[in-house]
Structure 1
Amino acid sequence: MRRKAHSIIAGFVLTITCNFLIAQDYSSSIVSGFKERKDKALHALSNYRAPDTFRIHALIKVISTAIISKQRQELVAYCDEALLLSRKLNYLPGTAICYNWKGNFYKGLSDVTTAHIYFDSAIGLSNANNQGVLQKYKADANRGKAWIFYEQENFHAALSHFFQALSYYQDGDRTAAMHLYTVIANTYSRVNNFEQATVYAAKNASLADLDTNRMMKAQAYITLAEIYVRTRKLALAMNYLDKINPYIPDPVQIMVNSGYYLNRGQVHFLENKFDSAFYYYKLAYSIASNSHHMINMTASLYYLSNSALKLGKLDSAKMYAEQNLRVAEKNKARIGKINALLNLADYYHATKDNYRAYDFLHEAAALKDSLLLEANINQINTLAAIYESDKKEKEIQELEKTKQQQATAVKQQ
């Protein structure tokens, strides 16, 4: 009975996803220097008292000093003034920037309905006007909407908006394009489309080979390494993890560190080197816990419990599983909760308490069934998003093909 139930829910093991694109070390100068940046911008603002575009730009510099939600809350009044003045002067770039700032502000407050309204307003403003500069703000709005859908695990809708952002950035901003290649690859991984995930991760790695920024390299390589881990191509995974090794640990990009340790642990676990796996999982958990990164916390705890069982550390296996269950329930992470329940089922099976093991498996299976039911209900709503993301991807591929043909024609002249 236990084996049958376990096979039913095996596909729901949490994916390691390293969201290092938006995760910063809050002890870094980027965040800790907020007061200095804000004071400098406010001092500059005092030089522009007339209600004109110069003041709008000064106000935008003030609100641009905020990176995280807590900082944005201090600057809402400055955004409101910039938005009001931009509308009064019909200054569209200022209006679009403020719409996106408001979208990110409400996203940080978890008010995604209001966030979408502001992002959609920025997109609508850009669609209604032909100013080239507005296309950047449209791309930024699409990226903001994509992150909301991603965090809601609506991955197909997320892909649609990530592709729309990529269509703007892929030709003019290599850094932004690399970030988007990374998250597109991660998103395809989350829906188990490893073929497409590999395509975009490989594009990113190719750009990384040309880049001098070590963290851009690390982000690209770790994305590809993670895909190879999940597809059990361990030699290829280790090749890219070894490329990252000189950059680890990085003092700022903590989620790169966490992702590196998680994937390194996974390789060792799959090679039955459980002591080494346990060591790397502990490093990954320490980082994820200190940064309060829920996805990597639950992943680390799940794998720690698994490897502890393999090493015969039964008390530790139970401790990590129970801790994972608390974290998952607190954050309403249902897949994380399933994994914690599986860990507890494994623990009680190992201690010969098969009745309790079955109870935990039964609870995990029931939760899994509720997820499947919800997915079926939402399937109709996601079909349009799937179509749009596929269409946008094909448009980008056609554009790249045309550019290659043009380049070939120029060389032959």
Structure 2
Amino acid sequence: MSPLRRQIRQTLTIARRDFTATVFTPIFLLFLFAPVIMGSFGAIGGLGAASASQGSADKARLVVMLPAGDMAAVRAADTRLRPLFGGEARPPAIVSHPPGPAPRALLGDRSVDVSAVLHGTLAKPAIIYAAGHRGEARYLAAIAHAAALDIQARARPAEPTVERVVGAAPSLGGRSTASFFAVFGIFFLTLFLSGQVVGTMAEERNNKVIEILAAAVPLESVFLGKLLGMYGVAVLFVAFWGTVISQIGLVLPGDMAGALQDLRPAIGVAPFALLFAAYFTTAYLLLGSVFLGVGAQASTMREVQMLSLPITIVQVAMFGLASSAVSHPGSWLASAAELFPLSSPFAMAGRAAGGTQWWPHAAALAWQLLWVAIFITVGARLFRRGVLQSGSAKPAWRRLFSRR
């Protein structure tokens, strides 16, 4: 058996060992369904906040103190303008009130929250509003203006026909949004998955298993095998949730599903899926190799936990750099993000969603794999010299000069 073939076999053995030790445990099920657990807590908090907000929104009112003839025109204008606002932007309901001398007193009503009051006449309207409700006052002003135009025209204008058209090519805004989602997708997956690599060496350092492995297998094979084993766990996680998320389009409303169709990458859906998988792989291997090398220096779980914060800061920094890069394509910032090894997968995934060229992606993947090999080699040598203390005590440049 050739040395290369033996080293590949040893690497795959380490990878299979770590993969089975992680997947075939009850704890892995908790990890697999961790997004559901976190989403449930978020949904519970969101529902509580939404119910509280909805409760206060249901009590809010806009009061109109106008004569009966003007009130009918205001109702008609409100019927036309209100559908333009959706969700939390929808104005409060309008209630009529007999004209009186004290419209300001309505703002102090404790039974309902009066946001704004329209009084006077449509020929000369006046609006008062409570602090923080300037938007509601502007809505009343728009209604008063539209109602006055209706009364002057004495005829209701024809309703326009509205038709949604799906373009053959993705729009500029759709490409920009797809680029951001590509960067965020890789960031979220690596943030959630690559942090596991940090603690893979601590337990084996404590029970002395790493010394047995280092005596039988080259440390480079141990590091790469552990990295590939944890990558297999990540692929299993992504495959499971990717299958679940791919079926969401079947239950989305037609308008929302149509809006998602505009988020098409410029390079094409199928090529982008391949590039996204490739860049997720290189992002995981790059960050994982760095975290494995750093985490291998930790001897206890306390030290591993202390490393979690700087690791998260590094990942967030790479996300911020790549997000700025996709917002300014072709700039020096984009070039820097695409060349820097740790941010290159994020930035190039965003570039795949916004551009159609292929050759930069081939060069970027080769560049990123080169740095994976560098990080693994450096991490193994630091572990051999600093932890196992089996390397030379002198740096390479000092050993070179000592021979002369």
Q: Check whether TM > 0.5.
A: no
Normalised to the residue count of structure 1, the TM-score between the two structures is 0.22
Structure number with higher relative contact order (C-alpha < 8 Å, ≥ 6 residues apart): 2
Higher helix share: 1
The two structures have a TM-score, normalised by structure 2, of 0.22
More strand by share: 2
Larger Rg: 2
